[in-house]
Amino acid sequence: MTVMNADEIRKLLPHRWPFLLLDRVIELKPGVSGVGIKNVTISEPFFEGHFPTESIMPGVLIVEALAQMTAVVYCTGALQAMREAEQEVAATAEAQLEPAEEIDISSRVGYLVAIRDMKFMKPVVPGDQLLLKVKIGRSVGILSKVNVAAYVGKVCVVEGTLSVSQRP
């Protein structure tokens, strides 16, 4: 199980403020599943224009936060596979290989292809802490189905399925 802070997430994802919507990763099985946190604060720029008299986090941004958590799961899985392949090559090579360059995995973050059966059960408001859970499902070619859910405490506020693609 791997934990990641905001600085480590920024090294992994190409997203930046105000569109980086993942504050911390608290559970991670690279390439398989993960759980992240998004702290919802009143200082978020979207609260100025989205229901200004009733601060509600836009559902599309909750979905984006889930997609970013999905990208972390995928990217860490890809990094792990690359490192394992490098070690295998180094172990079988006769000559000592120089260390590989640092991999910029953020340039390989895939695309959100589809949002399916997304249900929004409860509004998310300032002060809430979103627990973002993702689990990679079936893959066909470069497309994968991802089961996602967001919780505030023990209450599920959003759940559904995303389809994502790897970058060609």
Query: Considering only 120-124, 144-148, 164-168, which range has the smallest mean pLDDT?
Result: 164-168
Per-residue pLDDT tens digits for 100-135? 556 667 776 788 999 999 999 999 999 999 999 999
pLDDT given at position 130? 98
Domains of the chain as residue ranges with CATH? 6-165 (3.10.129.10)
**Strand 129-140 relative to strand 155-165: parallel, antiparallel, unpaired?**
unpaired
Q: How many other CB atoms are there within 10 angstroms of residue 63's CB atom?
A: 20
**Residues labelled catalytic:** 50
- Residue 76 has φ and ψ, to the nearest 5°, of -65, -35
96: region left, alpha or beta (phi > 0 left; psi from -120 to 50 alpha): beta
Tokens 């995928």 correspond to 74
Which pTM was predicted?
0.88
Distance CA 30, CA 33 (A): 7
Any idea what the Cα angle at residue 33 is, between residues 31 and 34, rounded to 5°? 115
Per-residue pLDDT tens digits for 26-59? 999 999 999 999 999 999 998 888 777 899 999 9
Q: Is residue 152 scored above 80 in pLDDT? A: yes
Query: Considering only 31-35, 51-55, 95-99, 145-149, which range has the smallest mean pLDDT?
Result: 95-99
95 confidence band (pLDDT: 50, 70, 90): very low
